[in-house]
Structure 1
């Protein structure tokens, strides 16, 4: 049955076009008359007194100290604070966000007061934490974000979001930028949270604030999802022409009827991708729709349709077509830039704010023209039509074309004096932003390329352009916090992804190396059945996590030669495999599958399994005695430690068996988990440290890491036993329930078990601050633990 239309798409888009055309004609008239030149020249002469300073000969030696690389987040904040520039830096940054994202007028007393409050709070936070941070990678760490979520009482929402972001990143197809998708999503979520936060009254209750933040995070994700999976996907030429038509129909139908159509049979090679996207977007759409106020629902659908259709209009343009009018180039830009921001307010169902719609509508093109300028060469390479790419291609053939650089300054002049009524702070912020944008472009493009660009785009008024270029060369103190965050976030995401990939690739290589040496050769002195059984267990598809961690610790942290560590790696896997053999016995967990194959006692006999486990524990000790390139006292300490770990692990297993049918407390479960699992991780981390004669302080920090990493690992195992896929796990799920075992899930429930896992994750990560070595691999290892599927 055909769904009923809830908006008249043609009518609402036509009305939006008429409004945009009216705005464009006003800007066009100003640009033709070059009214911006006189107005902005006066503005810049007033503005530059705060930004062009004469320095003494002594200050020349300290200028830029600490500022040479603004991507160093904490160092740059320190430098700003040291030079007394941090207050102005934060004030213009927060003011800009209030103007851009919240649609506020900066001359409002309430807005000024609110900005001042945020600046004071942010400065305190930045200056108090910067001194304590050991590297720039912690700002967007999972630990810091989870701690913030804990403070607000939205841990479960955070965990939900992290899983969603992980799935999105996993499903970003080749040809699209996963870091860009994540950054954009995070930015939109942050923007929606900020909108919601500003709507809350001072006296809002803790519980109400928690519920509203939960909703804002989910709404932000739901709206943000449209960027990677609608705009970016359609821009990336991943889909065939036929698939794009099918997909565009789905989006249009959804926005005009309020109902997501069934996917049906997908024609094309991207069916699996589209099925995932369709499911995720439908869930997101339904969540947004369910949280719309009746009075804003139509506005949401109309703005969303205008945004989508204006993007489609731009997307359909062909750079080889030399006949587009100025109206065709600029009106879709006005529409998509304004509607994308207007949607956010309707998404959260915020009440009307006097002047918001008008300010936001006029403001949007400013940001879009700035973004298009920054991206013009990438857009040109992709064949995308923007005012800049089109002017680059046809300026010498089409004298009627508006110079987009002149339009940009016209928009700025119009905003400062017509929209924001010549407000001083607005002038300060917008000119700061404009000069900063040119500085950043010059830095990326290089001086020669930048000069070439300015010779073309600045030709509209050479005298005015000369003044602008003087500001670009000489003006100081025009940086913005959101740009610093953006650069830092992109760097963090890239480094994290690259680090994870490197860790996984190295781990695969180490795993392969370990597998090649694990087999135990047969001897005439030992019954073949025991060695056959041992090798059967060792040849299973084990993760080899413990010896892999030992390799990383030995080689990366302590600089030990990988070849002399081989006996230690083998001993760890022998001990671990022995513990699994005992775990699986009918007298204990009675498991039928292990590492994707029948358990040892199922293939051989219970007696052989018991003897094989004992054999492997002794074989492990034997391997340790061959570490003859280390000091004998260190090897002796290692063997003593290893024997104690084995004994304690037996105690942990006994505790586990004794707990069958009993309801353990969380404290008891943590203790049992440490003995069963945590000690194995501790051994893999501490054994190289023992051989390297590490200090007690460092040993204690590593023990703390191992304890909590082991608990996090066990909780993840318990969760996988409930939520995991048998095919991926290589063992049956539901065994804990079948065996009536106390687990983190049985004691806490799934949601609280996830919180407990994250708590242990955070403690483990925080403990690494006391380890004076390269511990990135331990961080990646811990990330692997909580994100694994098996």
Structure 2
């Protein structure tokens, strides 16, 4: 479909054929070792040596089990257990060593590598021990948005972190049904981290902090741009979401891009996926152009070659059909040798790292080890999906095709080859690779169950019963073979799933409570009502019927009912009063004497429909109605209700002061401190009231109220900053109000004082401070956490 220069196509094909020849040569050497079973005596000796060093059969070992082993899936408990038993150092050492070998292509026998690993282990241990020193409830975790932002601040890359968090949010929202959004996010995060790791290791110690920040900023963005190819090329083409014709059209587009170095126009695209493909095309085009713009001329050619080899080898694999019984061993293994090695080579090309023959060589031989381990773990999911991998193909055709290589035997052959031929029998490398292999089998056994695991071993390991006995013996005995990256992977997946579940519950709660509040807000008319009062009530109901978010009464309901156990029916008057007060403040805010707004909550403002005088009277009416509702809290003792009304009156007074500050500031350049104070009075105080009022009814302790006030302060300012950003960058149709009014009215805003970038940094700083304050609240604060996420991520 997309036209290409024949010479360019020929060059790309030549490049792939050369890579294929190299892979074929590697496969042939592995094939000989499999057939001769030369790996068996070598690895048997290695495993025996590993067992002697790592599995202790002594009374000391028995009595050292003073504390039962924690579940490796329980992040904080497991770290504490490792520290308690003195195993944390070794655990981190093998984990970081493995990452240096797998992701960074390092030789573990190198003195420089050993020094670097030790430095990272010491630093990571210090962080982990301190972060898990005590149960801190809702602690700010390293992998949370607040935790990641704090790390970014230390490195001076807040802008890149804000950018990438927004990108991850957008990507997640565009993952179509039929693909795993959590998996897509995890892959992206992993690849970004991998690219940043490569950049950090390339920098060295002599780099200035300014240059380090610049390189890290670029690496984060490059990591995202490269990582985007996994959900939006690899996973999308695997997911069978596109029709056969669409898959071909899309694959041709990617191929043309890699061969020509330019992204073609999308052209015509029909069907249900049109909007999805338009978004993906736009995002991938921007990512591709960013990567290309940061390539050095001397690395550009190898970058495109590696990308083409990676993509084409995936395509060769992707079109395989499990019903085809005639694939050769070369058909099965050569593409995975190519794609598994080129994917890591691309990372170094992405950051324009200089050519390193040692890295290239180690990475080329190493890739298939990881691929075979992953395919083993996923074999039953792959079989269910009809995917052709060495394991699924062997499972289906092993009894009909005696020529097929057993992939499990090839896996151990690759391990033996890596240890002794690639890494020159290095002791540390042997320990790490064997530990990883044993860990993979233990995790598979745990996940599948002993019965299923034994069935798998009967199929794949029956050809070498003596060697299998050695393996199964070590799998049964070994208890200290866990790896930190697996712990983090499980942690990230769990967190992402929990986040999504909590977010769904958060949105459901908002929708449910919002409907309840909307149904209760209408102010009825009495039979003997006067004409003037009827007009005021109509005006009040007009304002209340607008598409309001009802955040404040929703916060009160959640804290009151879920937090303090108050009866939902008992606090209905309080919910109404909060929305009446808030709506009154909006009516006043929109008046010609103040902001002179024409649209509010998606409809014409009250004074444009009725009149300024009616709007003023309606605002006053709603304020008094709010007090009347609070006085109707008849299921609480009178002293408590009186305290609440006194607090509410003081809040209303202060909110008026905030609006007066706002009016007085027009045409003036405020300081940041003045703007923070004004934002708190205008927005933060209303948030505070929403949290403190149910706390007053529940007789909460003063220390808790203090924490809630602090949370409200920072959440309110973050909310106001987001409002300022939306007034400049938002969509009027989504916002339901006129944009650009701050500039028109010459208002001081966070953007006018700090600029767009500075305002975003300030918003995230207040987000972090609010999130950290939640640790001081002795209740379930999940809703407030997601409220904060909503505040900074909302588009209206």
Provide TM-score, normalisation by structure 1.
0.98
Q: 2: distance between equivalents of 1:267 and 1:258?
A: 26
**Paired residue secondary structure (1:459):** coil
Could you tell me whether the CA contact under 8 Å between 2:138 and 2:775 is conserved in 1? no
Q: Is the alpha carbon distance of 1:63 and 1:399 closer, same or farther for their aligned partners in structure 2, counting shifts above 3 Å?
A: farther
Q: 1: distance between equivalents of 2:431 and 2:61?
A: 29
Could you tell me whether the CA contact under 8 Å between 1:338 and 1:365 is conserved in 2? yes
Could you tell me whether the CA contact under 8 Å between 2:662 and 2:678 is conserved in 1? yes
1:69-468 matched pairs, under 5 angstroms = 69-131=71-133, 133-135=136-138, 138-468=141-471
CA apart distance, 1:302: 0.7
CA apart distance, 1:292: 0.9
| Runs of at least 5 residues in structure 1 that lack an aligned partner in the other structure | none
Could you tell me whether the CA contact under 8 Å between 2:140 and 2:147 is conserved in 1? no
CA apart distance, 1:266: 1.4
Q: 2: distance between equivalents of 1:626 and 1:464?
A: 80
Give the structure 1 partner of residue 721 of structure 2: 715
Higher mean displacement: 46-55 or 28-37: 46-55
Is the counterpart of residue 46 in structure 1 residue 49 in structure 2? yes
Could you tell me whether the CA contact under 8 Å between 1:584 and 1:599 is conserved in 2? yes
Could you tell me whether the CA contact under 8 Å between 1:74 and 1:136 is conserved in 2? no
CA apart distance, 1:466: 1.2
Give the structure 1 partner of residue 787 of structure 2: 781
Q: Describe the superposition over 1:374-431 as per-residue Cα deviations: whole angstroms up to 9, x where unpaired.
A: 0001100000000000011111111111111000000000000000010000000000
Give the structure 2 partner of residue 696 of structure 1: 702
Could you tell me whether the CA contact under 8 Å between 2:92 and 2:121 is conserved in 1? yes
Q: Describe the superposition over 1:567-625 as per-residue Cα deviations: whole angstroms up to 9, x where unpaired.
A: 11111100100000000011101000000000011111111111110111111111111
Could you tell me whether the CA contact under 8 Å between 1:436 and 1:478 is conserved in 2? yes
Count, aligned residues:
789
Higher mean displacement: 624-633 or 425-434: 624-633
CA apart distance, 1:55: 5.5
Q: 1:594 aligns with which of 578, 593, 600?
A: 600
Give the structure 2 partner of residue 574 of structure 1: 580
Q: Describe the superposition over 1:136-188 as per-residue Cα deviations: whole angstroms up to 9, x where unpaired.
A: 77231111111111111111111111111111001100000000000000000
Give the structure 1 partner of residue 564 of structure 2: 558
Give the structure 1 partner of residue 678 of structure 2: 672
Give the structure 1 partner of residue 548 of structure 2: 542
Could you tell me whether the CA contact under 8 Å between 1:242 and 1:268 is conserved in 2? no
CA apart distance, 1:51: 2.6
Q: 2: distance between equivalents of 1:326 and 1:301?
A: 28
**Paired residue secondary structure (2:593):** coil
1:742-757 matched pairs, under 5 angstroms = 742-757=748-763
Q: Is the alpha carbon distance of 1:445 and 1:109 closer, same or farther for their aligned partners in structure 2, counting shifts above 3 Å?
A: same
Q: 2: distance between equivalents of 1:90 and 1:348?
A: 27
CA apart distance, 1:354: 3.8
Q: Describe the superposition over 1:425-484 as per-residue Cα deviations: whole angstroms up to 9, x where unpaired.
A: 000000000000001001111111111111111112011111111111111210000000
Q: 2: distance between equivalents of 1:55 and 1:180?
A: 43
Could you tell me whether the CA contact under 8 Å between 1:66 and 1:75 is conserved in 2? no
Q: Describe the superposition over 1:221-273 as per-residue Cα deviations: whole angstroms up to 9, x where unpaired.
A: 01000000000000000111111111011111010110100111113331111
Q: Describe the superposition over 1:318-361 as per-residue Cα deviations: whole angstroms up to 9, x where unpaired.
A: 00011111110111110110110111111111112241111000
Q: Describe the superposition over 1:283-327 as per-residue Cα deviations: whole angstroms up to 9, x where unpaired.
A: 111111111111111111111101100100010000001111111
Q: Is the alpha carbon distance of 1:55 and 1:490 closer, same or farther for their aligned partners in structure 2, counting shifts above 3 Å?
A: farther
Q: 2:618 aligns with which of 606, 612, 616?
A: 612
Q: Is the alpha carbon distance of 1:292 and 1:135 closer, same or farther for their aligned partners in structure 2, counting shifts above 3 Å?
A: same
Higher mean displacement: 634-643 or 647-656: 634-643
Q: Is the alpha carbon distance of 1:675 and 1:485 closer, same or farther for their aligned partners in structure 2, counting shifts above 3 Å?
A: same
Q: 1: distance between equivalents of 2:254 and 2:289?
A: 13
Give the structure 1 partner of residue 486 of structure 2: 483
Could you tell me whether the CA contact under 8 Å between 2:72 and 2:482 is conserved in 1? no
Could you tell me whether the CA contact under 8 Å between 1:51 and 1:476 is conserved in 2? no
Could you tell me whether the CA contact under 8 Å between 2:27 and 2:334 is conserved in 1? yes
Could you tell me whether the CA contact under 8 Å between 1:584 and 1:592 is conserved in 2? yes
**Paired residue secondary structure (1:355):** helix
Q: 2: distance between equivalents of 1:53 and 1:104?
A: 30
Q: Is the alpha carbon distance of 1:471 and 1:121 closer, same or farther for their aligned partners in structure 2, counting shifts above 3 Å?
A: same
Cα RMSD of the aligned pairs, angstroms, is 1.4
CA apart distance, 1:63: 6.0
Give the structure 2 partner of residue 516 of structure 1: 519
CA apart distance, 1:64: 6.3
CA apart distance, 1:3: 5.8
Give the structure 1 partner of residue 733 of structure 2: 727
Q: 2: distance between equivalents of 1:647 and 1:685?
A: 18
Could you tell me whether the CA contact under 8 Å between 1:73 and 1:136 is conserved in 2? no
Could you tell me whether the CA contact under 8 Å between 1:595 and 1:731 is conserved in 2? yes
Q: 1: distance between equivalents of 2:63 and 2:450?
A: 23
Q: Is the alpha carbon distance of 1:519 and 1:663 closer, same or farther for their aligned partners in structure 2, counting shifts above 3 Å?
A: same
**Paired residue secondary structure (2:462):** helix
Provide TM-score, normalisation by structure 2.
0.98
Q: 2: distance between equivalents of 1:245 and 1:758?
A: 43
Q: 1: distance between equivalents of 2:458 and 2:167?
A: 46
Is the counterpart of residue 20 in structure 1 residue 23 in structure 2? yes
**Paired residue secondary structure (2:461):** helix
Q: 2: distance between equivalents of 1:635 and 1:576?
A: 20
Q: Describe the superposition over 1:472-517 as per-residue Cα deviations: whole angstroms up to 9, x where unpaired.
A: 1111210000000000000011111111111001110100010011
| Runs of at least 5 residues in structure 2 that lack an aligned partner in the other structure | none
Give the structure 2 partner of residue 641 of structure 1: 647
Q: 2: distance between equivalents of 1:63 and 1:440?
A: 24
Could you tell me whether the CA contact under 8 Å between 1:660 and 1:740 is conserved in 2? yes
Q: Describe the superposition over 1:55-108 as per-residue Cα deviations: whole angstroms up to 9, x where unpaired.
A: 5499469466251x2222111111101100000000000000000001111001
Q: 1: distance between equivalents of 2:636 and 2:54?
A: 62
CA apart distance, 1:713: 0.4
